[in-house]
Amino acid sequence: MVYMGLPRPRITSILYHSWRHCTIYTHYIRRFLQMPTLGSEEDDTCVTFVINKEDHTLGNSLRYMVMKNPDTQFCGYSIPHPSEEKINFRIQTRGTPAKDVLKKGMKDLNSVCEHVLRTFETSINEHKRRNQSADIEPMDQSAG
Amino acid sequence: MTKHNQREEITHRCGYFHGCLPFFLLPTFFFFIIIVIIFFFFTFFLFIIFFLIFCFLFLLFDFNLSFFFINFFFTLLLFFFILFFISIFLVSFKVHSTDFPGSYDGYDDAWNKEKFEKNFRIEVGRLAADELEFDMIGIDAAIANAFRRILLSEVPTMAIEKVHIFNNTSIIQDEVLAHRLGLIPIKADPRLFQYKQNLTSFLLLIADADPTEEDTIQFELKVKCTRNPKTDDPDNMYKDHKVTTRHLKWVPIGNQANIFKEGDIRPVHVTEDEPILIAKLRPGQELDLKLFCVKGIATASYRLLPEITLLKPVTGELAVKLQKCFSSGVIEIDTVDVNVESTGILPPEVLVSQAIQVLMTKCRDLSRELDETDKMEMIQVQKGTSEDEAQSFYT
């Protein structure tokens, strides 16, 4: 599968460490930042994740999958300002660490997508076969 | 931020949709609407009764007694209108799915992969070269909406991004011309190309990476308008006065000539009767441009957008009928009716597959980032250093 993401790494900062030379750090743009609740760093069941470069596309679908988890007590997301591309994703759980709940949500969303993709390709191929178009070949997803 | 109280649990569990009014969720609170409608007709009924009593009394007796009933008449009228507006407000803005664990007592709504796979199916309605219509049954609106959003803006395509203008004596300004060129759909399979890598050095600030055969397609647009001396016909007075996508000539880079045949890489609308009009010239004006296409998604501008029109998902009466057969809350029907129209770069079924794969990639990347954040925090704790230094240790 062709790599879908934006090209990396990119320059994000140029730091001057001494008079004589400047050191250039190239690393991934920090996409992910975690904000624990103020004053209680040990309590990892209530966490707000600030995810950069995401919007309603991932936010709403991920929220739905996390809500399907019976461990979740609260889950919601918001976009602090529409001009900035980031979301605040809040999870409160009944005991399990919030990070694990988030990981499970992403894994479930991944499996949903895989199943939808398989079903879709099967349906399309079946439809083509049923209409007996000689020109159209069955869809090949691994082009290139 | 404090933890929410336990007793507020149920009300806070419902996630609210942000933004649009999803009318396709109407069946999910169908029972709620029934109650509202009953209230409606109840008050309306009472209103009619009191109106009739008022008329009856007015006709048979004098005014005094009938005015007594007018009071009830207007009170009910007021109540009627208040209820009407409140119900509209409730219906329009407060929309949420109810299929979350805890919404219904004793009913297990937790995520069940097998149940989803058993109930989910896709029915293809129509499949043409540039149009596809299909139904997704058994999927929630949140995920279907994510696919819709990705289809509209995050499926990668090839489009003109950089225009080198050597000569432009037309009346179309440089930037307007470049903008128009960027909107032209280019028929090149984006899966065969890679994203353009940025220079990883100080030079990025002053230059751009050279176009390579793996990430760039080059076109040339050289048109000069001249007068046609042969005819007096006003329609044929000028030669080449309409610059269209037919004048875009592909210039192969590297070994692209070996991989792609002549005519593989072109703007989409070239072979039909109506190519896209880019500019109009008059005698003496000319255009001399070099165009570079790269792979990208519609992050800031809509120019890389495959043109897709989607109908809003519609749940028919059949869905509602089925829901009535069971007690409320047992059946949650979510049917999404999707209509995909492509610009012609990629066939529509490929676009949908790409959209689903984009969502999978987002999840995987985010998972990986989460794991990396875990590792970085561990390094931070062990080394006891600041965040920036921890990052440099990691890379």
Size of interface A-B (CB pairs under 8 A): 197
Type of residue numbered B17: F
Contact flag B370-A78 (C-beta cutoff 8 Å): no
List the 53-82 stretch of A: residues with Cβ below 8 A of B: 54-58, 60-65, 67-70, 72-76, 78-79
**What is the rounded CA–CA span in Å between residue B130 and residue B338?**
14
Task: Return the higher-pLDDT residue of B40 and B182.
Answer: B182
More confident residue, B84 or B333: B84
The 3-class SS string of A71-118 reads CEEEEEEECCCCCCCEEEEEEEECCCCHHHHHHHHHHHHHHHHHHHHH
Residue B94, pLDDT score? 41
Reply yes or no: is the peptide bond before residue A9 cis, omega within 30 of 0.
yes
pLDDT at residue B9, as a whole number: 39
* pLDDT, position B213: 87
Residue B366 near chain A (CB below 8 Å): yes
Alpha-carbon distance of B152 to B4, in angstroms, equals 37
| pLDDT one-digit tens code per residue, B153-177 | 889 999 999 999 999 999 999 999 9
Residues in B touching A72 (Cβ below 8 Å):
13
State the pLDDT at residue B102: 77
- ipTM value of the model? 0.71
Selection from A110, B29, B338 nearest residue A102 by Cα = A110
Confidence of residue A28 (pLDDT cuts 50, 70, 90): very low
Q: Is the pTM of this model over 0.80?
A: no
Higher pLDDT, B376 or B192: B192
Q: What is the pLDDT of residues A70-92, one digit of tens each?
A: 999 999 999 999 998 889 988 99
pLDDT digits over B74-97, tens only?
777 777 777 776 666 555 444 457
- For A73-96, b/e burial (b = at least 16 CB within 10 A) is bbbbbebeeeeeebbebbbbbeee
Confidence category of residue B11, pLDDT binned at 50, 70, 90: very low
Residue from A96, A123, A133 whose CB has the most chain B CBs within 10 Å, to mutate: A123
Mean pLDDT (chain B) is: 76
pLDDT digits over B108-134, tens only?
788 889 999 999 999 999 898 889 999
Which of the two residues, B67 and B160, has the higher pLDDT score? B160
What is the band of B12 on the pLDDT scale with cuts at 50, 70, 90? very low
Q: What three-state secondary structure class fits B264?
A: coil
Whether the Cβ atoms of residue A130 and residue B127 lie closer than 8 Å to each other: no
Structure tokens at B99: 């299929």
Q: Is A53 left (phi over 0), alpha (psi -120 to 50) or beta?
A: left
> Out of A42-46, B175-179, B199-203, which region has the weakest mean confidence (pLDDT)?
B199-203
pLDDT digits (tens, 9 = 90+) for A4-25: 444 433 323 323 333 233 222 2
Task: Decide: helix, strand or coil at residue B378.
Answer: helix
Q: Which backbone phi and psi does B277 adopt, to 5 degrees?
A: -85, 125
CA pair distance A106, B362, nearest whole angstrom: 9
Residue A36 and residue B379: Cα distance in Å, rounded? 18
Instruction: Give CA–CA dist B254/A76, Å, rounded.
Output: 50
- Taking the CA of residue A92 and the nearest CA in chain B, the distance in Å comes to 8
Q: What is the mean pLDDT of residues B214-237?
A: 85
User: Which B-chain residues 184-203 have CB contacts (< 8 A) with chain A?
Assistant: 189, 191-192, 194-198, 200-202
Q: What is the pLDDT of residue B176?
A: 94
- Please give the structure tokens belonging to residue B100: 């979350």
Does residue B204 sit at the A interface (CB-CB below 8 Å)? yes
User: What is the three-class DSSP state of B78?
Assistant: helix
